[in-house]
Structure 1
Amino acid sequence: MSGLLGADLPTSSCDDSSISMVGNDANICRHLKQAAHVIPHHLAVAVQKAKGSGLFNQSGALSKLSYQELDFVSLDRQSDAIAFALNAHGIKRGMKAVLMVTPSLDFFALTFALFKAGIIPILVDPGMGINNLKQCFAEAAPDAFIGIPKAHIARRLFGWGKGSVKCLLNVDSGKPGLSAKLAQMVVGAPSLASRLRRPSGLGWPSEQVEYPMVMLKPDEMAAILFTSGSTGTPKGVVYSHGMFEAQIQALKNDYGIAHGERDLATFPLFSLFGPALGMASIVPEMDASKPITANPEFLFAAIEKYQCSNIFVNPALLERLGRAGELKQHKLPSVQRVISAGAPATIASIARFSKMLSQGVPILNSYGATESLPISMIASEALFATTEITDNGGGICVGRGIKGVDIGIIAISEEIIPQWDNALLLNNCDIGEIVVRGPMVSQSYYLNDSQRNSATAAAKIWDPATNSVRHRMGDLGYLDDQGQLWMCGRKAHRVDATRNGQFAQRYYSIPCERIFNTHPNVKRSALVGITVANEIAPLICIELDQSLVCNKSQQLYQDLIAIAEQFPQTKGIRRFLIHPDFPVDVRHNAKIFREKLAIWAQSQTKG
């Protein structure tokens, strides 16, 4: 890391020794509190705003972009004030609160206020769909609902949290000029602003004082984060402050993030780590739930204005920004690190984006899940060296484990494994289910019904030797002889082909698909299983590269058959269907809904 990043910091820095937990009590906000003392007037958060239409002037340059900023001491004080206001409104330690606020200064201040007060935020991805959202809120049984007017209107329309929510707060007054009273009638919730103006008394201080931050045991529940549901039913993952601490340490030690850096934060949860790391979070104007719709010019403008050294992007945004940069020959000289997570990024996307970066600046691909993140990491230069193996069906290399993470591979099974035994481990290079253990690995799902009890039992293995659990990732892969982890796809996406009613051959999604993706006309492919004459058969759905002309479907079919016969991973695959546009998840635009494709493929198949 360049010494310039922290060159203007005081000599007393926010290192681990100066903020070590006392009595094993924990709260992620201790990092913010320390930064507010050590670097009070350094930038903590900046939010980009695009005003109305006509965003470009006659010369084509950006116009009407504005920025709202908070330094560390202001963020600390505002979150203190909100914590007092939450308590005065009846929202107190141990209660669960849905937080549906767009990335903004309010989002940061509110989230840190909840943590300071020991209130458990429930964080969901709005892009998961109405039905999934309702299920998530029913399972989490929130005590409070804090959101923007749009969220409250949806809450009333769809009955979110009905039967459990006792306290409501509207984060703003809605439309400009709308009175607070009318706003409350429209959204059914009083405004947070009115609570902040509450007079002294009833626990509300008459002047700015420091909020007595609630300290929890490291393993106590600090937040509930719901999985996106892109690969199954959304589940509430129980986060502790100990997990947050482990993630912060990984970002410091393994990713090399230092105080004084500035991060282009395109994912709300990761953006919260910025202030906790002494790093400014720069939030661009974009829909965080649909990054593929982001305007690259806005993001480039924010990076340039604040000279961002770090960028956090998912594969869809990496591709979008890379194409925009390639078109305009744009450069990002201030960037020293790019972190990509959420789904595997393609080699082509990484290579394209890298053209905007200075020589030697890495794109770090992170592997993990909501239940356990980060698990492993690989830099772009090392990833490029694995291209041939990947194209030949060897899976995708996701690197070595983060410090403190134990990665193992066990046999593929749907059976519950109640207790860990090292005898479960497979040999190197044997494909099986990835199992992980470490301080950032969640211990359970939120248990509010028997369904989630069974989900925890299916995903967790108790390890008596370490007095902790190992998490079954639901992903398949293997460890090579150098200790690198290779991904071979989701366990649910494998196809076990049959012949005469007996198991014949197993096909893995990523190895198969990456082989067929080498054909120049193929944009992407998806392995699915179909039933033909009472036998399970593999079928490859093909999405063509629309930039290329492919008029000879019979020739394409023959090409794919020939490719399949060249590799043991694909041998025997003889069924292919062209699909016009794969169904994918909204956030990453990379996780293919193979379950939907399987239903479609079955409907297209005769016999």
Structure 2
Amino acid sequence: MSPSSATPKPLTPLREGDANICRHLKQAAAQYPHQLAVAVQRSHRRALSQRELRYSELDFVSLDRRSDALAFALNAHGITRGMKAVLMVTPSLEFFALTFALFKAGVIPILVDPGMGMNNLKQCFIEAAPDAFIGIPKAHIARRLLGWGKGTIQHVVNVTELTSPLAAALQTFMTGARSLAKVQRQAEARLKSDPSAALTPYPMVKLHIDEMAAILFTSGSTGTPKGVVYSHGMFEAQIQALKQDYGIRHGERDLATFPLFSLFGPALGMASIVPEMDASKPITANPQRLFAAIERYQCSNMFVNPALLDRLGRAGAALNHKLPSVERVISAGAPATIASIACFSKMLNPTAPVLTSYGATESLPVSMLGSTELFSTTTITDTGAGICVGRAIGGVKLAIIGITEQPIADWDCALALEPGEIGEIVVQGPMVSRAYYQRPSATLAAKIWDETTQCYWHRMGDVGYLDPQGRLWMCGRKAHRVDATLNGQWVKRYFSIPCERIFNTHPQVKRSALVGVNLASGRVPLLCIELEGALTGDDQQQLFLDLGELAQQFEQTQGINRFLIHPHFPVDVRHNAKIFREKLASWAQSRLDH
């Protein structure tokens, strides 16, 4: 669908005490009440055909009214402004309505990635100390069995009615949980007793732009998950970036494969089309269902992570499928390979870019690079230059500082390295978070106060450099660098991405991971390898000889001469790209020790 020919009226300028992301939904509901806001795909049987796919839809005014009704209902249930509420709901119409209802009511959603693992989830809930828990039955069962939020949760709402024969047994695990439908009916009954109130829109809570609006936990793929404090000011900055830097316009339709990003659709006046898939494990998605949703709604935008991008690209090549309606694709969450972007691009019109977006939960987006420019960097990436992630978007400042594990309290311009020097990436901008929730030591380690701008710099935990054109190049995580030593003396520093990209050019290497191991003489670099196919013992020895010769050709990899083949790298479930190098390092060390 083409964007609406009508130009949206500008919002009233945001004042410090008037912030709430829902003001964008209110505007869309007033100006374009019956345009599509959300569509959710469902299949009724395992076999796939267009006829077996069903779609539930809400227009902007219906989404606005439903979230109003839910905000009233949550208040009636005792969930009010300033409380923190865990939201564990699968992508659905209820997910959208509930999230906007929480924002309208000034309730702070706690959003976690179910793929982070049970132990991490429990720790997240201990730190967040939620007042309420809103979720599907499966989430409530886990909450009771595993003790999530025990001692702090006072209000419990079940989003799905229990109608199966197991309902009574399930209810045993959800003592105190009231169904969302029942909460709504009770609230509606109260409103009907006062006809004037029944027609009154929910009085949206207005907050200071720096006031806490949500807590979003990091994935934990490179350490313990941390709760990032989001403000409505941060959300506003992200919306402006999507409009101004990414060019998203009112009336577009987005294939939304990541729940948080899908919420920006209605706030942008863009319809969010949610395909049937496990958003926490996108690698398991059925490509034909996604293609069907794009075709039905003529989606112009797609937000996909690298694993899903690769899966869809391969499926498109096998089916000779095209996506003529798609005008742009945004890839984020982990570095996508140039080969997978090139494969996916074959489904698009020549003018439709794949935009690689760099950032983190603490600051997103930071920089952006179009696929055409990315393709021009292939050769230098494969020879150890790192991955180009583009230029800073509007309002964002980038700098590189020396690598250190020590906190840096105050910013000084002298901290910034010269172009071409590799160091830790730091960013400043309106979408940069100010703190982690209840993690003062983590906040101290990640934030640098800038007295001149009265804003924080965020230390990304990634290493890289700026080139003379102002483009940012990524060289991996700071924690994944390997500092080689010999007899207690420092020898050389190795960075993960530059080294791995060199070795990944070998046709028998599917992917590689640089780790550090300890020998009697000191710490040395070792390369773990995941193969494209099986090899015999003699072939493995030849591969190791080839890789050793390859290492000597480039300054970045000279000195790497130890290799181990791993059957299948441990990776995060969401991106299927973030390699758990800490686990590989332990595995490699154990192999050497025995």
TM-score per shorter chain, which class? over 0.9
Deviations 1:214-245 (A, max 9, x none): 00000000000000000110000000000000
1:590 to 574, 577, 582: 577
Q: Deviations over 1:454-501 (max 9, x none)?
A: 100000011111111110000000000000000000000000000121
Give the aligned partner of residue 330 of structure 2.
339
Q: Aligned pair 1:490/2:477, yes or no?
A: yes
Paired residues of 1:45 and 1:280 also in contact (CA < 8 A):
yes
Selected match of 1:511 from 491, 498, 505: 498
Residue 47 of structure 1 aligns with which residue?
40
Count of residue correspondences = 590
Shift of 1:359: 1.1
Q: What's 1:403 paired with?
A: 394
Instruction: Tell me if structure 2 keeps the 8 A contact 1:19–1:30.
Output: no
- Number of the residue aligned with 1:317: 308
Three-state SS of the structure 1 residue aligned to 2:384 is coil
Residues 575, 352 of structure 1: alpha-carbon distance in 2 compared, 3 angstrom cutoff? same
Q: Within the alignment, does 1:76 sit opposite 2:73 as a pair?
A: no
* Equivalent of 2:73 in 80, 85, 89: 85
Does structure 2 retain, via aligned residues, the 8 Å contact 1:173–1:183? no
Name the counterpart of 1:600.
587
TM-score (norm 2): 0.97
SS in 2 for 1:523: strand
Q: 1:548 to 1:530 in 2, by over 3 A?
A: closer
User: Using a 3 Å threshold, how does the CA distance of structure 1 residues 436 and 563 change in structure 2: closer, same or farther?
Assistant: same
Separation (CA, whole Å) in 2 of partners of 1:561 and 1:292 = 33
- The alpha-carbon deviation at position 326 of structure 1 amounts to 0.2
Residue 354 of structure 2 aligns with which residue? 363
Whole-Å separation in 1 of the counterparts to 2:537 and 2:355: 35
- Matches for 1:108-147 after TM superposition, within 5 Å: 108-147=96-135
Q: Report the Cα offset of residue 360 of structure 1.
A: 1.6
1:107 to 95, 113, 134: 95
What CA distance in whole angstroms lies between the structure 1 residues aligned with 2:395 and 2:263? Answer: 23
CA contact (8 A) 1:184 1:191 kept: no
**Cα separation, partners in 2 of 1:589 and 1:476, compared to 1, 3 Å:** same
What is the aligned partner in structure 1 of residue 144 from structure 2? Answer: 156
CA offsets per residue over residues 320-363 of structure 1, 9 Å max, x none?
Answer: 00000000100000000000000000011001000100112100
TM-superposed CA distance for 1:185, in Å, is 3.8
Q: Show CA shifts across 1:386-423 (max 9, x none).
A: 01110010000000001000000000000110111001
Q: Residue in 1 aligned with 2:447?
A: 460
In 2, are the aligned partners of 1:238 and 1:445 still within 8 Å (CA)?
yes
Q: Do the aligned partners of 1:521 and 1:548 also contact (CA within 8 Å) in 2?
A: no
In 2, the alpha carbon distance for the partners of 1:183 and 1:391 equals 54
Distance (Å, rounded) in 2 between the aligned partners of 1:335 and 1:358: 8
> Distance between the aligned counterparts of 1:186 and 1:203, measured in 2?
33
**Paired residue type of 2:110:** I
**Deviation for aligned residue 1:186:** 4.4
Post-superposition CA distance 1:524-573 (Å, at most 9, x none): 00000000115100000010112899961111111000000001100011
CA change 1:23–1:500 in 2 (3 A) is: closer
Report 1:250-265 matches (<5 A): 250-265=241-256
Give SS of 2:2's match: helix
Q: Which amino acid aligns with 1:234?
A: P
Aligned partners of 1:401 and 1:204: how far apart in 2? 54
Residue identity matched to 2:2: L
Residue 203 to residue 145, structure 1, CA distance change in 2 (3 Å): farther
Corresponding position: 1:192 with 2:165: no
Any stretches of 5+ residues in structure 2 without a counterpart? none
2:531 to 525, 535, 544: 544
Look up the SS of the partner of 2:283 in the other structure.
Answer: helix
SS in 1 for 2:181: helix
Relative distance call for 1:388 and 1:550 in structure 2 (3 A) is: farther
Aligned match for 1:530, one of 487, 508, 517: 517
The structure-2 alpha-carbon separation of the partners of 1:178 and 1:526, relative to structure 1 and needing over 3 Å to count, comes to closer
CA distance in 1, matches of 2:298, 2:3: 14
- Measure, in 1, the Cα distance between the counterparts of 2:100 and 2:537: 54
Does structure 1 conserve the Cα–Cα contact (< 8 Å) formed by 2:141 and 2:170? no
2:473 equivalent to 1:480: no
Whether 1:31 and 2:24 are equivalent positions in the alignment is: yes
Q: Which runs of 5+ in 1 are unaligned?
A: none
Query: Is the partner of 2:200 in helix, strand or coil?
Result: coil
**Alignment of 1:569 onto 2:556:** yes
Deviation, structure 1 residue 6: 2.4
Matched, 1:558 2:555: no
Q: How far did residue 64 of structure 1 move?
A: 1.2
TM normalised by structure 1 equals: 0.95
1:215 aligns to what? 206
Letter in 1 for 2:334: A
Q: Determine the C-alpha separation between the residues in 1 that align with 2:121 and 2:207.
A: 28
Whether the 8 Å CA contact 1:85–1:204 is kept in 2: the answer is no
